[in-house]
């Protein structure tokens, strides 16, 4: 009995794709944040399997090693250690629901425009890549990121840096347990404000006085 490779490929593809969609839906519908994080790990594994089927081995392994092996594990530990007020989040859910629906509609509209303009109704054939690049998808990815789309890559890096700084600033804002430096006070400090000389008797004299009192 022989198996058709195209049929086997289609079976694995639809299995990974279906499991990816289900796990992604559970990420946003799960009531427990720990369960949502675990479903997100499953979604990453399914996406990695799809990339492996599409012969993008570097992206597949990078997704598992970076996101599942580092980022998601760290995120999962943070979620498990934090004392999240689930009732407060559920109580304010309806308050932010209109804004969430609006943002979701904008994202769906943007994705629809990209798909329609890129894949639907286009007759331009896909340009093949150079032969020296097709031998290694890692080299092809590097050429696309650092040569063809280097400016977009740098802009994305700057945006992520601004997001990290903003997250740290918002987290430490108006917290009583957070400590910060006042550079102006540190520069203008005097020695008299930091050190005080106190005259005290020697230890031996204190011991002799105590012995004399006992006698």
Residue 85 pLDDT: 62
CA distance 19 to 43: 8
The predicted-structure confidence for 3-31, as pLDDT tens digits, reads as follows: 567 788 888 899 999 999 999 999 888 87
The pTM assigned to this predicted structure is: 0.57
């Amino acid at each position: 009995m022989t198996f058709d490779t195209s049929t086997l490929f289609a079976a694995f593809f639809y299995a990974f794709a279906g499991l990816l969609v289900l796990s992604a839906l559970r990420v946003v519908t799960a009531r427990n944040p720990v369960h949502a994080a675990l479903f997100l790990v499953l979604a990453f594994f399914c996406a990695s399997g799809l990339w492996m089927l599409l012969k993008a081995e570097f992206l597949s392994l990078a997704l598992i090693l970076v996101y599942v092996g580092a980022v998601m594990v760290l995120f999962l530990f943070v979620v498990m250690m934090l004392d999240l007020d689930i009732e407060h989040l559920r109580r304010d859910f309806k308050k932010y629901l209109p804004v969430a629906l609006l943002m979701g509609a904008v994202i769906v509209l943007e994705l629809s425009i990209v798909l329609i303009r890129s894949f639907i109704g286009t007759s331009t054939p896909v340009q093949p890549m150079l032969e020296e690049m097709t031998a290694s998808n890692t080299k092809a990815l590097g050429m696309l990121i650092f040569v063809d789309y280097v400016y977009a890559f740098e802009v994305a890096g700057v945006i992520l840096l601004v997001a990290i700084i903003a997250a740290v600033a918002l987290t430490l804002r108006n917290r009583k347990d957070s400590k910060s430096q006042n550079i102006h006070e540190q520069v203008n400090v005097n020695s008299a404000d930091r050190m005080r000389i106190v005259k005290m008797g020697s230890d031996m004299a204190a011991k002799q006085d105590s012995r004399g009192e006992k006698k």
